[in-house]
Chains A and B, each alone.
Chain A
Amino acid sequence: MSNSDVNISRRSFVEKSATAAAALTIAPGMFLHTVAEAKPADQAVSSAVRWGMLIDTAKCASGCTACVSACNTENGIASHDRPRTDQQWIRKVTLRDKQTKHEISLPMLCQHCEKPPCVDVCPTGASFKRDDGIVLVDRHICIGCRYCMMACPYKARSFAHETVDNTVDHQPRGKGTVESCTMCVHRVDEGGTPACVEACSEAEHGAMIFGDIKNPDSEISKQLLKHGGKQIRADLGLNTGVRYRGI
């Protein structure tokens, strides 16, 4: 375990010290593409865009938690060493098919549904979906009833069970409210990529692709067209924005 950690950090060190041109070749198309789409700060998000992710379980390395660490650092999520009540926005899950014994590893996070059950059940409207498909909690009006956590089929939400004392200024979080993956909305609004996707790419796995699934020219749309992308619990008809290959 510690051995692989060393490898990862050495790898990312090498990358970070590399030139910008080198960084661009590591993630071809992706960064260039999203920068071109950055919206002006005073413009509201529009439904012409739908942000999504495609996760390739074949490329996702079992034991690698680069996406989880990146998310925690980016959003100021710290463990209190109480796993039952600690917040988790993204987690790694390893699965085995009961019949075939085939094993896969994948990151689970908010699936950013088109028809999110958490939004349906929220009594105050704190749980909502932006026009560009990102599902968020407006913690200004969240009363902490946790009904959304009952409703979410993906266990994607966490309740802030104790005082949060390490917030970062772009991601205010606080005790007594519910939170979940924001798809790094603060980065996305400025033309960036979610921290987990970036970290996966930096760790040279490239298992996660982020982009606009309504734009046929985006990398994610091309990949989806070519290889498809399945939904977890597609039977619920939620039309998730996060899709998987190899499940």
Chain B
Amino acid sequence: MKKIHLEQIEGKSTGYMGLIALLGVFVLGAIGSMLYMEHEGHWVSGMDNQVVWGLPHVFAVFLIVAASGALNVASISSVFQKKIYKPLAPLSTLVAISLLAGGLMILVLDLGRPDRLIVAMTYYNFKSIFAWNMILYNGFFVIVSVYAWLMLDRTVKQYSRYAGIAAFVWRLALTTGTGAIFGFLVARSAYDMAMMAPMFVIMSFSFGLAFFILVLLASYKGTGRPLGDVVVNRLRSLLGTFVFATLYFVIVYHLSNLYATEHHGYEAFILLGENGGETYSNIFWIGQILLGSLLPIAMIYAPGVKNCRKTLAAASILVILGGFAAMYTIIIAGQAYPLEMFPGMEVISSTFFDGATTQYSASLPELLLGLGGIAVTLIMIALGIKVLGFLPATLEDSVADPHHKAE
């Protein structure tokens, strides 16, 4: 195996500048939306007292979960010593940090009082999993940055494995914490399940890797650097495994709920679309299951597409779309389904929508805020590979494949 050269990209082409400018417009859109929602108050959004977390949270949680998953490649290389992933490890840390930053930006800008961020940093309730998550997020930035530095700086390279192990443990904790935000909610039928935490970990593997693959393919295509099939096909089969694993967890989640009579109402709502759940049920079946799981699996394992990058890119995009559908199902549908306050009773009248399904529809500012978060992520990646050598100059099979035999 030849030595790997990490090299900055030039970043002066019209395409590059245009990309940055376009992303900048989306960031401005997000800031504008934030100012609008803060000035008017949240009533201008689709969120209300029934669905308190809306589309911004779908984007934010997706990006945060994907951040942890994007670190996969680095973890496999340093923790599990797989040499083929080693050249990609620095890029994987950059994508992870960027995804987390984008997600957190959305989360913070959607707060009722974003001006009080300092309060969130100085007052901690240690029984709150949300407070723990703030520590986990900040720690993730620090640990992964140190890890990236140890990999990029030749003089300290021998320590990078330890940082890699620390980052691996930390990001498992981070996704566990993010899943627990929902798993620890005792009152709602859709949540209150310890399985939420491992399910989020598996989802992170899948969503994060799909995002990483897209970044890798796009940046090598954009810079015209050589990218061999060996690396790409390894990532392809890894993605397939993760999509399967996620699907497995989703099936077990619903089977558990279907077994318990008290959760039959929610399952009828999300699986059959009963009780006003048509939209949510469609998003689950079409978005999460069909487009987000079954179709990508078919595209990854179908015969004859082994070296087809376009199919892999399309499959990755579908996994990401499916990821958004999954988050929408968990976050929005989970809240839209009414709280079971009086088992055995039906609500005849209430001024506060007791017992009624909420039909949430996102507003434009919420969508713009979410897209702005993705734009921040992409800008950070684009600038990162320009400023520092995150990207290997070549990933030809002869360079990347440890088992490559010279012909």
Contacts and interface: CB of A to CB of B under 8 A. Distances in A.
Q: Within 8 Å by CB, do A and B touch in the complex?
A: yes
Contact of A123 (B50, B112, B125, B350): B125
Nearest to B46: A84
B259 interface: no
Interface in B108-146: 111-114, 116-117, 119-120, 123-125, 127-131, 134
Contact of B41 (A88, A125, A175, A247): A175
B123 A125 contact: yes
A108 B352 contact: yes
B345 A98 contact: yes
B113 A176 contact: yes
- Mostly, the A contact residues are loop
B185 interface: yes
Interface stretch (B1-9, B194-202, B290-298, B334-342): B334-342
B112 A95 contact: no
B346 A123 contact: no
A177 interface: yes
B42 A159 contact: yes
Interface in A92-134: 92-99, 103, 108, 117, 119-126
Contacts of A232: 341-342
B354 interface: yes
Given A143-B111, A147-B130, A84 B48 contact: yes
B49 A124 contact: no
B351 interface: yes
B335 A159 contact: no
A227 interface: no
Contacts of B42: 85, 159, 161-162, 176
A233 interface: yes
Contacts of A121: 128-130, 184-185
B43 A162 contact: yes
B243 to A, nearest CB: 28
Given A95-B348, A96-B345, A176 B38 contact: yes
Given A95-B342, A123-B128, A141-B116, A150 B48 contact: no
B351 A83 contact: yes
* Highest count of chain B CB atoms <10 Å: which of A80, A93, A97, A247: A93
B347 interface: yes
Given A84-B49, A161-B48, A177-B112, A91 B187 contact: no
A92 B41 contact: no
A96 B346 contact: yes
Interface in A169-203: 175-178
Interface string B17-61: 000000000000000000000101111000011101100000000
A149 B339 CA distance: 11
A124 B187 contact: no
Given A85-B48, A97-B344, A150-B52, A143 B116 contact: yes
Contacts of A76: none
A82 B42 CA distance: 12
* Highest count of chain A CB atoms <10 Å: which of B114, B124, B128, B348: B128
Given A124-B120, A142-B112, A155 B48 contact: no
Nearest to B191: A150
Interface string A39-83: 000000000000000000000000000001000000000001011
B186 interface: yes
B128 A144 contact: no
A95 B345 contact: yes
How big is chain B's contact interface, by range?
35 or more
A233 B113 contact: no
B111 A144 contact: yes
Nearest to A157: B49
Nearest to A235: B343
A88 B349 CA distance: 15
Contacts of B114: 143
Contacts of B127: 119-120
A214 interface: no
B188 interface: yes
B156 to A, nearest CB: 35
Contacts of A143: 111-114, 116-117, 119-120
A80 B43 CA distance: 10
A236 B186 contact: yes
Contacts of A124: 119-120, 123-125, 131
A197 B123 CA distance: 35
Contacts of A119: 125, 127
* Highest count of chain A CB atoms <10 Å: which of B49, B134, B185, B354: B49
B113 A155 contact: no
A13 interface: no
Given A88-B352, A91-B350, A155-B339, A125 B124 contact: yes
Contact of A141 (B112, B123, B187, B342): B123
Nearest to B119: A141
B113 A177 contact: yes
A218 B73 CA distance: 66
Closest 10 CB pairs of A and B: A144-B112, A176-B112, A153-B187, A162-B41, A161-B43, A84-B48, A125-B125, A123-B130, A124-B123, A123-B131
29 contacts: A68-B351, A86-B49, A93-B347, A95-B342, A95-B346, A97-B345, A108-B350, A121-B128, A121-B185, A122-B125, A123-B134, A124-B123, A125-B124, A141-B123, A142-B112, A143-B111, A143-B119, A144-B112, A145-B112, A146-B53, A147-B181, A150-B52, A155-B49, A159-B49, A160-B41, A176-B38, A232-B341, A233-B187, A247-B342
Given A91-B350, A95-B345, A155-B352, 5 more contacts: A93-B350, A124-B119, A152-B187, A163-B41, A233-B187
